[in-house]
Amino acid sequence: MQVAVETSDMTASLGLKKSLMRECAVRCSARRIVLTVILVVTVRILWLSFFNSWGSSRSAHVSDDTEKNGMLSGLLGTKTGVHKLQNIKNVGLEVRGRSFYLDGKPFRIISGSFHYFRTHPEQWKDRLERMKAAYVNTVTTYIPWNLHERRRREYNFAVDGWDIVRFIKLVYEMKLHLIIRPGPYICAEWDFGGFPSWLLHDPNMVTRTHTYTPYINHVKEYFSHLLPLLAQFTHQRGGPIIAFQVENEFGSSDMCPDQSYLRLLVNLFRSHDINELLFTSDGAKQLPNGTLPDILATVNFNEDAGKQLDKLHLFQPRKPLMVMEFWPGWFDHWGEEHHTMPVAEFNKLVDVIFARNASINFYMFVGGTNFGFWNGANFNKGVTLPTVTSYDYDTLISECGDVHPHKFKAFRKLLKKHGLITESQLLSALPLGPPKQAYGRVKLEQVLTMDSVFKLGGETLTLHDPIFMEFLSVNGNSGQGYGYIVYRAYFRGTVISLKGALHDWAQVFINGLLVKTIDSRKDVPVDIRLTVGSQQAARNTIEILVENMGHTNHAYASRLSNMRKGFQGEVSTDVEKIKNWEHIPLEFDDRFIKAIQHSRDWQSVVNTSRPAQLYRASFFISQDPLDTFLDMSNWGKGIAVVNGFVLGRYWNIGPQQTLYVPWPLLNKGKNEVMVFELKKSDSMFKFTDKPILAS
């Protein structure tokens, strides 16, 4: 019985314990649920609070705080440029139906093209500040391959101060987004559309196609250096880059359609860990051949805005409308009239774009300069049409940083009309133009004769017959890409026959005297017969000076037959075929310019009528230098160099007559001007405070 009672008591005790344990478990579980709910709600509230502040700082509209601080709509919201939270990855720019979203919030792209390579690096910040004053939220730029790989396999992404990383960081610090158009082909009225000239060293080269393996290998190698550099600054990693363009207006290429080529480029972006939005841009008619089904298509135009947007909508009805290139002006070719767009037309077209809720990039928003020999050329009806040095574009911010007297204000009014900025922003003061100075007339001091100039040329090769400059085994077997080339040989006889291909502009000298000028911008063979009169029987000298006026950047034949520069053919006399030609490159690179500056052959100026001479003068600036313009309207044809920097080309056929001289190129104290004049010179240089872009 005792055992039974003890057993019963034990059973009761165990039951009580189990009951208490169950009650405790239930209570603990309830507490966990309550605590979990509280924790989730708290985290959710904190997250929404953070996300709202994040989104409002990056909205396409300006908040009250933003307005008070003079900040812009749609910009990065912290002092350092980007909000960052550990364990949270930025979503980036997305296409959701017919709208763009950035980090989950609706986003309207209001962008302007600004080419870092067309503005002196010390002026980048000034131009970006002017863009911010116009209330854009995004900057767009190309990257020219030929600027950063001038010789094959020699990569320099900070060449001569044009530092792409520095530019990206500056955009980031200015709280602007960035769209990159890295090519490999960019057009842009830039020499060879951004392709390096050394591609032309290959006689079989074909570009913009997947079918020519050497071309594809060059692209892969270049992108293997460029894309990892850019990937560090993508939006998803906290940087400013929100999108990348694939190729450029490929639908206009005679190589299209070639979806394999476009797909290869897309795969290169992805293989280098670039996961931002990719897009293509084309004219409306070219849309079907210029893109891929999974890539956003955008459109380029400057007329019939409604019709162009309708065509884009019909082509991809379930995606947002984006005008990747709205042209508010245009560029100029030598010998043409200066191009402008009336403000009334500008207003009408942009108004339609905004009314259709389309995003927009103004090409250009900031004008620039084709410094050095970087200008490109168009090819139309068998004629090469070189672009002038100025890339002012009659756009909202000029080549020298002035805001357009009408378009800049009109643009802000349109933003206000469509609810994209506030009234107080509309009424804010317009930026003042950068100060300028007319430094007046500078008398010529010295001259360097043609013979002395030729002696200072680069690597000289002697070949049986003349060949194009790109085929020369110079510059590490990259050929000559820019500037002038001299072909020199010796002959007997009195009648000369010159046959072959010549691009673009040439002068023929016999024993130092000019006997023929050849404007050979037409893509036709030259066949010229010269009677040179009674010459020395034993040894006469012929020199052919040829100017490369810029490789075609648009509408060129894919086989590149008309692209190479210089002279390739044969020259004979009534006595013999002329052979054993010296090839003398005049590239006006740093080495050549320094050799010129330190030459002992400079002479006092006596005769300014002889062609193909270098002239030099100096002038003093007593205060901090300001922007100025070198007026070359009384000169003929050539290039100007200020303090060792090649400003670019001038030509009295116009329309451009002045060359922009940015203040960072000038010194407080002594300054030097040199001009290589091919035709006729004045007795002085003249610096003015106003550009002459229309003659």
Nearest partner of 646 among 309, 271, 393, 389, judged by Cα:
389
Q: What would you report as the CA-atom Rg of the chain, rounded to the nearest whole angstrom?
A: 32
pLDDT in tens, 432-472: 999 999 999 999 999 999 999 999 998 999 999 999 999 99
What is the distance between the alpha carbons of residues 398 and 151, in angstroms, rounded to a whole number?
32
Q: Which residues of the chain have pLDDT under 50?
A: 1-28, 30-31, 33-88
Kindly state the helix (H) or strand (E) to which residue 57 belongs, with its residue range: helix 2-57
Say what the pLDDT of residue 71 is: 31
Kindly state the helix (H) or strand (E) to which residue 17 belongs, with its residue range: helix 2-57
Task: Give the pTM.
Answer: 0.88
What phi and psi, each to the nearest 5 degrees, are found at residue 529?
-120, 125
Nearest partner of 535 among 561, 519, 511, judged by Cα:
511
Say what the pLDDT of residue 559 is: 60
**Residue 137 structure tokens:** 């939220």
**Residue 13 structure tokens:** 């005790």
Nearest partner of 623 among 668, 573, 683, judged by Cα:
668
For every residue of 352-415, DSSP letters joined together read HHHHTT-EEEES-SB-EE--TT-B-EEEETTEEEEBPSEE-TT-SB-TTSPBPTTHHHHHHHHH
* Residue of 149, 189, 276, 325 marked catalytic: 325
Contact, 521 vs 505, CB < 8 A? yes
Question: Which residues does residue 672 pair with via DSSP β-bridges, in sequence order?
Answer: 618
Say what the pLDDT of residue 536 is: 59
Contact, 606 vs 434, CB < 8 A? no
For residue 425, give the amino acid letter.
Answer: Q
**Residue 427 structure tokens:** 């009424």
445 an active-site residue?
no
Question: Which residues does residue 300 pair with via DSSP β-bridges, in sequence order?
Answer: 325
* Three-state secondary structure string covering 269-307: HHHCCCCCEEEEEECHHHHHHHCCCCCEEEEEECCCHHH
* Residue of 189, 247, 249, 587 marked catalytic: 249
Say what the pLDDT of residue 557 is: 59
Q: Rounded to the nearest 10 degrees, what angle do helices 259-271 and 213-231 cross at?
A: 30
Q: What angle do CA 24, 28, 29 make, to 5 degrees?
A: 115
For every residue of 182-227, DSSP letters joined together read --S---TTBGGGG--GGGGGSTT---S-SS-HHHHHHHHHHHHHHH
What is the distance between the alpha carbons of residues 408 and 413, in angstroms, rounded to a whole number?
9
Say what the pLDDT of residue 522 is: 84
325 an active-site residue?
yes
Looking up tokens 């979806």, which residue turns up?
259
* Three-state secondary structure string covering 431-484: CCCCCECCCEEEECCEEECHHHHHHCCCCCEEECCCCCHHHCCCCCCCCCCCCE
Kindly report whether the peptide bond that precedes residue 240 is cis, defined as omega within 30 degrees of 0.
no
Residue 179, SS3 per DSSP = strand
